[in-house]
Amino acid sequence: MSRILTVGLVQHDCGEDRETNLNKDLDGIREAASRGARLVLLQELHTSRYFCQSEDIGQFDLAEPIPGPSTEALGRVAAELGVVIVGSLFERRAPGLYHNTAVVLDSDGSLAGRYRKMHIPDDPGYYEKFYFTPGDLGFTPIDTAVGRLGVLVCWDQWFPEAARLMALAGAELLLYPTAIGWDPADDAAEQERQREAWITVQRGHAVANGLPVLACNRTGAEPDPSSHTSGARFWGSSFAAGPQGEFLARAGEESEEVLVVDVDLGRSESVRRIWPFLRDRRIDAYGDLGKRFRDE
């Protein structure tokens, strides 16, 4: 039942120059492929700094169409190396209409599909509702040469419903391009609680659905463009987990790293046989999940 897929995760910091950021991605993809990876996951909004720390209409200039320059660059490398690439872009769909969009380039360089981020945060330092329209493509896995990918984005990773719906649609792997970090004003204990919560909830999705999970986060300190706060320090910690939540590989908090690890997609079958959560779901009793809150 074993079905080994070698995957790569490219964790790096981001500066102001788009080409420098994109070259880090491409170099990371090449390194991962040279080490045997057939699937490479990049971090959220990897061609720019995380501009959502403040609300600034000038930042909309960073958006690009899909297909567009970034998908063309990623597609060329995907075809050259024969790898599947999952990227994350600021999509310009139409004037005044923008999305936070993950793209999947298949091993022949074609655009296999896209996922528009469904859950959009609006918190201090993460003013994404100002920039992004909520996704309208639903929770639909994307078929590729290496399997059916359940691609989600950052804030989606806190919602078990998103992971479950991808699993129910046949995803073989859950992938989360991410940009999440600390407020430097928080003390060390609070920072550690936040990072551990982020890791734990995603490992929980792996367990609850019997699926491997890949989470790729950025690293490094980035200033607040408005200068109103002390900025953000992204905590890295990219990781791969197996279908029982076990760690397969982990990156550091501050280092730029290319993680490469073998993931056995076949283990989902055996894990689901001993932990048959999908069998035992009480779908007849879950109607209230469609409500915002269950008022008495």
List active site positions: 44, 117, 154
| Beta-ladder partners of 240 | 214, 249
- Whether the bond between 121 and the residue before it is cis, its omega within 30 degrees of 0, is no
HSE-up of residue 94 (Cα within 13 Å, Cβ side) = 2
The CA-based dihedral angle spanning residues 109, 117, 203, 185, taken in that order and rounded to the nearest 10 degrees = 120
Q: Please report the DSSP string for the chain in residue order.
A: ---EEEEEEEE----S-HHHHHHHHHHHHHHHHHTT-SEEEEPTTTTS--GGGS--GGGGGG-B-SSSHHHHHHHHHHHHHT-EEEEEEEEEEETTEEEEEEEEE-TTS-EEEEEE-----EETTEEGGGT-PPP-S-S--EEETTEEEEE--GGGGG-HHHHHHHHHTT-SEEEEEE--EE-TTS-HHHHHHHHHHHHHHHHHHHHHHT--EEEEE-EEEE--TTSSS--EEEE---EEE-TTS-EEEE--SS--EEEEEEEETTHHHHHHHHS-HHHH--GGG-GGGGSSS---
